[in-house]
């Protein structure tokens, strides 16, 4: 079985490539990545071919998708604030980029395609937990580009019979998630700051909640989706409903570090949503055997990875 992972040198992509390369049912793993936010070193020591290039290049996609049994499309310009700063770039990579991938999947003979959307599509919808039948009310250009990602993907199922599945990831965390840049996700940013005894910056009051999912749970689900050729006609949440506020996260990190951390509050970020907790019912219907790694265990593994690096 040949699997192509777009964005394979990124955080989730490299963890997925590692899981796929270890799987006996999968013979060939190819990562396509333009290294705009990913790193070739993320794939060091893995039996994975890295093709450096952009998903916006149809010729490159035709070459890479030839003979593929599945595509996991993760390449994107992540981050809400990046999209607020430059919406056209986010649209081009995320919306147009997805369309390019779907067209190439169709040209390659109808390859099973799994894509990554985001909880940000729920946006201003106040209902909790977020279930997939709720309306989408995106609050940032990034979120709109993810609405386009998931619905183009599902439209290809309806219009052309392409076997597809669109997941909505919530807040994924774990090894290889970068810190140290302005758009870093909160867990790696705070672990890196905590390790250097630097200040943890909280946007807003810290009472906003997030549904954190450990990356191995995400890569297990993606791997099973590939192997079982799972498709679905509407998007599927990939998170488990564990709402953790940022203030609770700080308390857990203080416990893990065994000392108090210096915290400073800043203005809330434009486009950020207040609460985000998934209803996982549909996920459990499709993957009854999914067994998520709990938050403290995932945090401990992530900290161990950081400690081994420093
Ligand atoms: N990390 C999360 O919590 C989270 C939450 C919701 C959705 N997602 C989605 O999951 C996917 C993976 O996210 P991640 O956290 O691993 O981000 P990431 O930035 O680490 O990975 C994205 C990868 O895509 C590559 N890329 C970007 N544009 C490209 C292009 N035009 N051609 C080829 N490669 C390109 C980047 O270099 C990077 O390696 C993204 O689609 C993201 O929107 C992530």
Instruction: Note the pLDDT of residue 271.
Output: 62
Question: Residues 223-277: pLDDT tens digits?
Answer: 999 999 999 999 999 999 999 999 999 999 999 888 999 999 999 987 677 888 9
pLDDT score of 298 more than 80: yes
Q: What pLDDT, in 10s, does the model give residues 144-187?
A: 999 999 999 999 999 999 999 999 999 999 999 999 777 789 99
Q: What is the token pair recorded at 120?
A: 């940000």
Q: Which atom of ligand 1 is nearest to the CA of 213?
A: 3
- Using H for helix, E for strand and C for coil, what is the string for 14-69? HHHHHHHHHCCCCCEEEEEECCCCCCHHHHCCCCCEEEECCCCCHHHHHHHHCCCC
Q: Write the residue with the smallest CA distance to atom 13 of ligand 1.
A: 12
User: Domains along the chain?
Assistant: 2-173+214-240 (3.40.50.720)
Residue 201 Cα to ligand 1 midpoint, Å, equals: 24
pTM higher than the cut 0.85: yes
Cα of 219 from ligand 1 centre, angstroms: 14
Q: Is the CB of 218 under 6 A from ligand 1?
A: no
**Which residue is it, tokens 């108090």?**
260
**Residue nearest ligand 1's atom 43 by CA:** 78
Q: Report the alpha-carbon distance of residue 27 to residue 17 in Å, rounded.
A: 12
Does ligand 1 come within 6 angstroms of the Cβ of 167? no
Distance (Å) from CA 259 to ligand 1 centroid = 33
Q: Which pLDDT score is estimated for 269? A: 81
Q: How many Å lie between the centroid of ligand 1 and the Cα of residue 127?
A: 27
Q: Which of 10, 71, 113, 239 to mutate to test the pocket of ligand 1 (most atoms within 8 A of CB)?
A: 10
pLDDT tens digits, 279-293: 999 999 999 999 999
Rounded to the nearest angstrom, the distance between the alpha carbon of 262 and the centre of ligand 1 is 30
């Amino acid at each position: 079985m040949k699997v192509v992972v777009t964005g394979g040198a990124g955080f989730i992509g490299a963890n997925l490539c590692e899981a796929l390369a270890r799987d006996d049912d999968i013979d060939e793993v190819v990562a396509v990545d333009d290294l705009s936010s990913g790193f070739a070193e993320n794939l060091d020591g893995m039996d994975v071919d890295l093709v450096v290039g952009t998903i916006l290049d149809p010729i490159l996609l035709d070459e890479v998708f030839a003979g593929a049994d599945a595509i996991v499309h993760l390449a994107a310009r992540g981050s809400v604030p990046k999209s607020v700063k430059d919406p056209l770039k986010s649209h081009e990579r995320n919306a147009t980029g997805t369309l390019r991938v779907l067209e190439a999947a169709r040209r390659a003979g109808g390859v099973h395609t799994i894509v990554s959307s985001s909880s940000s599509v729920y946006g201003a919808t106040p209902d909790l937990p977020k279930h997939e039948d709720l309306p989408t009310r995106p609050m940032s250009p990034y979120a709109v580009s993810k609405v386009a990602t998931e619905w183009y993907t599902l439209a290809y199922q309806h219009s052309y019979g392409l076997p597809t599945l669109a997941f909505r990831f919530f807040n994924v965390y774990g090894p290889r998630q970068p810190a140290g840049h302005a758009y870093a996700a909160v867990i790696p940013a705070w672990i890196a700051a905590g390790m250097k005894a630097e200040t943890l910056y909280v946007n807003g009051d810290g009472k906003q909640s997030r549904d954190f999912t450990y990356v191995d749970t995400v890569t297990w689900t993606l791997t099973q989706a590939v192997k079982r050729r799972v498709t679905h006609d509407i998007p599927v949440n990939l998170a488990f409903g564990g709402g953790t506020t940022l203030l609770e996260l700080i308390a857990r990190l203080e416990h893990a570090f065994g000392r108090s951390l210096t915290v400073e509050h800043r203005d809330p970020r434009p486009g950020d949503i207040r609460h985000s907790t998934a209803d996982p019912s549909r996920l459990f219907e499709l993957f009854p055997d999914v067994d998520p790694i709990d938050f403290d265990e995932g945090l401990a593994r992530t900290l161990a990875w950081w400690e081994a690096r420093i």
